[in-house]
Amino acid sequence: MHGARIKTFIRAFFCDSLNLCIFTRNYLTHQFYFNSKTVMKTFAALISFCLLSIQPANAAEHPCASPSLVQTKRLLEFHFGADERISVDQNVEAVSPIKNPVENDTYDVLQVCGYIYKSKYRMRFIYGFAGGECVLMGQEILEYTNLCY
């Protein structure tokens, strides 16, 4: 009985550049007017909120940034031996922390890039805090390379 009323078609499109018109069965039912300044201010506020919310923490202020730079060179020398072509990028990036598998806390993860000649390596150092000091809990090294020759 109400099937004909339920099957109404709603079409929405922009009548002008900033006016939205909604039509139901070819009859104009609602027309919304948007102020261009209000739209732009809302859009700018939304974009700035998104950019500020995804901004990573400043790793240079992280208490374990300096030990991770020292550990980067040590890790490269451990894997490849002493080489005068080893260089370390001074940019330390804090990435997402990982959960401690034993307790209900997290470990901080710092990422540093290192180079040997033309090879680039990404190293991640997992730090915990004990008594206000950085304790290295784990480390990983990954070479950036193309396996398809």
Q: What is the pLDDT of residues 15-67, one digit of tens each?
A: 544 455 555 554 555 555 556 666 667 767 777 666 666 645 544 478 889 89
pLDDT single digits (tens) 70-79: 999 999 999 8
3-state SS, residue 25:
coil
Q: Are residues 68 and 32 in the same domain?
A: no
Looking at beta carbons, which pairs linking 102-105 to residues 24 or more positions away fall under 8 Å?
Answer: none
Where is average pLDDT lowest: 4-8, 23-27, 107-111, 142-146? 4-8
Q: Are residues 38 and 7 in the same domain?
A: yes
Q: Are residues 45 and 101 in the same domain?
A: no
| Number of independent structural domains in the chain | 2
Q: What is the pTM of this model?
A: 0.58
Pair 87, 76: CB distance under 8 Å:
no
Going by the DSSP 8-state scheme, the letter that residue 118 receives in this structure is T
Q: Which domain holds residue 47?
A: 3-53
Q: Is 15 within the bounds of a domain? A: yes
